[in-house]
Amino acid sequence: MAHREVERRQNPRTSLQLPVAVKFHTADGTAWHEWALTQDVSIGGLSLDLRPAVTPGQVLFLELPLPPPFRPSDFERPMCSIYGLVRSVRDTAEPAAHRVGVQFLGPEPPRGFERHPGALFRLEDELPFPAPSDRADGEPWERRQATRFRVLINLVLQKLDAAGQVECEELTVTEDVGHDGLRVKTTLAAQPGDVLVVRDPTSGFESSAGVCDSWVADDGVRRLNLKFLKGGAGKAITGE
């Protein structure tokens, strides 16, 4: 049996070549527009061969016909438009090209990009997804004490019944993550007060989480804001 290399990424990549339009700015603000070809993709990012030299921390704007299973948004459009952060750059067999690893940021650029599009950004500088403030009661849905960052991770969500047994589960992807919790899309009928099990099948991370809020966004997909519970499954924290 042939040896298979162990995938260490949180979101395993699939070999797939797609044309991609790449736009970015150099440190002096010069705008570049280049066509490239992806080498592999995942729900969290992709790698591509790019001729212009780029640096880890640069922000790229990508437009490509990404298949829906790999998209964090734009599911109905033929082209996916998304910002990405350069995470790695290495040489290829072709001297004039570089293999660039890109992590998806989402449909919006990181904070400060409009003022300095050629700046280098770290993950700590990324803009967290804003909390919706258009609730029926007119009040913000949440008052976080910990910052959330835009990170896409494949997770398994399990809803427990009154006896603590798994009632149903689904595979989903995070929209933002912090040390105290996260936000995900879901098809589960989960409401504030429910306790879910959050599991990352890649890293082995697992935690009980309380549903703090549940709402249907403009795209018609339900979101859950989850807060990790200390000491395992227990009463969900729904307010303070």
User: What Å distances lie between residue 226 and 72, 126, 198, 212, CA to CA?
Assistant: 19, 20, 9, 6
* Cross-strand bridge partners of residue 36: 20
Spatial contact of 27 and 38, defined as CB atoms under 8 Å apart: no
Chain-centre distance for alpha carbon 171: 14
CA dihedral (224, 121, 58, 95) in degrees, to 10, reads -110
% of the chain surpassing 70 pLDDT: 75
Classify residue 149 by its DSSP letter.
B
Joined tokens for residue 129: 């997804």
* Cross-strand bridge partners of residue 104: 84
pLDDT at 131: 34
Joined tokens for residue 162: 């009154």
Q: Which domains does the chain have, with CATH numbers?
A: 14-125 (2.40.10.220), 128-240 (2.40.10.220)
pLDDT, the chain, mean: 75
Residues 132-140: contacts with CB under 8 Å, at least 24 apart: 132/215, 132/217, 135/215
CA dist., res. 59 & res. 108, Å (int) = 11
Burial tier of 208 (Cβ tally within 10 Å: 0-12, 13-18, 19+): buried
pLDDT band at 152 (very low <50, low <70, confident <90, very high): confident
Question: pLDDT tens digits for 3-35?
Answer: 333 334 455 678 899 999 999 998 778 899 999
Q: What is the pTM of this model?
A: 0.50
Asked if the model's pLDDT at residue 138 lies above 90, the reply is no
Question: pLDDT tens digits for 46-80?
Answer: 999 988 888 888 899 999 998 888 877 667 788 89
Asked if the model's pLDDT at residue 227 lies above 90, the reply is no
Question: pLDDT tens digits for 162-185?
Answer: 667 788 889 988 888 877 788 888
> One-letter amino acid identity for 128?
P
pLDDT at 136: 34
Which of 106-110, 117-121, 132-136 is least confident? 132-136
pLDDT at 61: 96
Chain-centre distance for alpha carbon 61: 15
CB-based contacts of 226, cutoff 8 Å, min separation 6: 181, 182, 183, 184, 196, 198, 209, 210, 211, 212
Q: Which of 60, 79, 53 is nearest to 68 (CA)?
A: 79
User: What Å distances lie between residue 37 and 27, 64, 151, CA to CA?
Assistant: 24, 10, 24
Grouping H, G, I as helix, E, B as strand and the rest as coil, residue 216 is strand
Joined tokens for residue 176: 């933002």
pLDDT at 168: 87
> One-letter amino acid identity for 239?
G
Asked if the model's pLDDT at residue 224 lies above 80, the reply is yes
Spatial contact of 173 and 185, defined as CB atoms under 8 Å apart: yes
Task: Put residue 106 in one of left, alpha, beta given phi > 0 → left and psi -120 to 50 → alpha.
Answer: left
